[in-house]
Structure 1
Amino acid sequence: MLPESKPSLPASGAEERNARIAVTLFPLLILAGGAIALASPSSFTGLAPWISPLLGVIMFGMGLTLTPPDFAIIAKRPVPVVIGVVAQYAVMPFLGWLIAAALGLPPALAAGVILVGCCPGGTASNVVSYLAKGDVALSVAMTTVSTLIAPLLTPVLALWLAGQYMPVDAGAMAWSIAQIVLFPVLFGLVIRRFAPGLVTKALPALPWISVLAITLVVTAVVAGSAKAIFAAGLLVLAAVVLHNGLGYALGYGAARLFRLPVPSRRTTAIEVGMQNSGLAAGLASQYLTPEAALPGAIFSVWHNISGAVLAAYWRRRGAQAERTGEPAPVAVTE
């Protein structure tokens, strides 16, 4: 998450540079980690037991960045938050199911694609929303709500849709999600409440800790799925690109249907299209098969690349509007 970024305030030059560096290095580091794991998978198979703890570190960092205003927006502007969260859990799971059926994916890969769709919004979505000149406060609220309800919705949806391809232990999965996602976020909130000074000092390092943790998760999953990647990598890449791209389009369309302003449309598109695919990969490794973790690993790489490209495109459109004297993004018709 992007700590302390408020859309109503202009970004400083240093803040802008840091955000650009983060969003540029993130996919590059993940690509590097995946490539190294593919080149020498045996060197990184020992990372597998660390996938869940690393995901817990990422969620703990998310909890540390949350503040009371992040929750207040849920009460002040419930409609856009509900639209985004409903789109998240309605669009992406069924989209994954449709793509798996349309491409005729093998059962393990189909279950993995669907599981990616059943997970909450991606932790990098807030940075991408910021760079895209979206509504950052709304992005944080959507990510928070979708993450907190994940222990309930993710296993239920996975059982319903992915369970058509492989057995899914929804009860055990729900408990794992609570341990990996819910408890660390709540613990981070508690630390933020009772040690704000300490947390403030740590905030600048949190995005980089998350980047490192996600890179290690992807490296571990890719190392464990190396054979599957060489056997079916292009097919899974096609599924991931479709899943991610259609998620952006349908998320934007849902927000536009309800006449949300353009920054909110951009945020909704990003929140729906970007998934917590690291969580999906970890759950697939634990409850399905190493091959089922492959879509999550590839999605982790791809959605950060596509998100950075989409943010750059929307940011350029905003800059062009300012140069030509067109209305601000909130009034731009896209």
Structure 2
Amino acid sequence: METLHLVTNAVTVIFIATTMFAAGLGATLPALRAILADLPLLLLALSANLVVIPLLGWGVAALFGLSTAPFIALVLVASSPGGPLGAKLGMVQNGDVVAGAAMQVLLATAGSITFGPTVNAILTAAEVGGGVSLDVAALVRTVAVLQLVPFAVGLVLRRYAPPTARSWHPVAVKVSNVTFMIVLAGMLLGSWHDVVALLGSRALLAGFVLSVAMFTAGTLLATGSPVRRTTMGGVAAVRNAGPALAAVGIAFGNQQAVLGALAAVLLSGLAAAVPIAALLSRGRGGSTT
């Protein structure tokens, strides 16, 4: 099992880097500047992901009357925006990949700073769990190395070596697709016993409902065409597991109950988000870049 975790972690790193690299190869500086200069879109996306969705996580956890471990897991997930799968869902739904990748990196960077205080405030108000203290600098470095740097390298290649970017882009997308499937399989194989243990609880349903609610909130709190709005929904629906896992280790001593609940919430969330993205892809000829 330890070997499986090591392999899954290694493939996850490759998946994140190649997904962001492929997004950069498919982007252009004018298109990227247009996204970052869209103040209404930025404000809505930041509000949705940093304020509305964490509150949704708290609300869903309370609504389903979850016990301590799944309650904590749901709040951790809801409070951690910018998961690299958000960029992948933009590809799956043939959405606005440039906007999705740019927003995902921005949210991951902002979330690495807001995650700790947000989780601490919610758990304190809900009188669940304890204080959460995380190394913000380490989280920012992780986002920069695994997400921002590959995206920037791809963007530079697209700008200064277009033929190379065009030839490498299909390969990067294929590697991203293959590693995506391996990561999903690794999560299922490595956490199946934890997921099975929660089948009698409401944690899996709560994770599924939260993912649908996050997709909806991200779509509604966005501007632009329907394609761009649903891309923002996909970015909002999948969260950044890194800070959540760090919090489990630092603040909760790697409690197996919390780890198992976190895996269950993440997997049930993907079970909602991936089919939605696949359904949206119907009738769309190709990704918008």
Give the TM-score, by structure 2 length: 0.75
Alignment coverage as a number of residue pairs: 270
Q: Hey, what does 1:286 align to over in structure 2?
A: 249
Q: Hey, what does 2:33 align to over in structure 1?
A: 72
Q: Is the 8 A contact 1:55 1:180 kept in 2?
A: no
Distance across 1 between alignment mates of 2:142 and 2:9:
6
> How is 1:96-115 mapped onto 2 (pairs within 5 angstroms)?
96-115=57-76
Given the superposition, is the C-alpha separation of residues 213 and 235 from structure 1 closer, same or farther in structure 2, using an over 3 Å criterion? same
Amino acid at match of 2:17: F
- Give the alignment's Cα RMSD to 1 decimal: 3.6
Q: Is the 8 A contact 1:108 1:165 kept in 2?
A: no
Q: Hey, what does 1:300 align to over in structure 2?
A: 266
Q: Does 1:251 align with 2:212?
A: no
Given the superposition, is the C-alpha separation of residues 303 and 281 from structure 1 closer, same or farther in structure 2, using an over 3 Å criterion? same
Question: Equivalent residue of 1:149, what SS?
Answer: helix
Q: Does 1:178 align with 2:140?
A: yes
Greater relative CO (CA pairs within 8 A, separation 6+):
2
Q: Does 1:218 align with 2:181?
A: no
From 192, 203, 215, the counterpart of 1:236: 203
Q: Does 1:60 align with 2:17?
A: yes
Q: Is the 8 A contact 1:74 1:141 kept in 2?
A: yes
Amino acid at match of 1:305: A
The alpha carbon displacement at 1:110 in A equals: 0.8
The alpha carbon displacement at 1:112 in A equals: 0.7
Larger Rg: 1
The alpha carbon displacement at 1:131 in A equals: 4.2
Distance across 1 between alignment mates of 2:9 and 2:117:
20
Q: Show structure 2 runs of 5+ residues with no match.
A: none
> How is 1:130-279 mapped onto 2 (pairs within 5 angstroms)?
130-163=91-124, 164-172=127-135, 174-189=136-151, 192=154, 193=156, 200=168, 203-208=172-177, 210-211=179-180, 214-215=183-184, 218-219=187-188, 222=191, 226-227=193-194, 229-231=196-198, 234-255=201-222, 260-276=224-240, 278-279=241-242
Give the TM-score, by structure 1 length: 0.66
Q: Is the 8 A contact 1:88 1:271 kept in 2?
A: no
Distance across 1 between alignment mates of 2:120 and 2:10:
24
Runs of 4+ in structure 1 displaced over 6 angstroms? 49-52
More off after superposition, 60-69 vs 156-165: 60-69
The alpha carbon displacement at 1:270 in A equals: 1.8
The alpha carbon displacement at 1:145 in A equals: 0.8
Amino acid at match of 1:120: P
Distance across 2 between alignment mates of 1:299 and 1:254:
23
Q: Deviations over 1:146-178 (max 9, x none)?
A: 112222012221222245422244233x34423
Q: Show structure 1 runs of 5+ residues with no match.
A: 1-43, 323-334
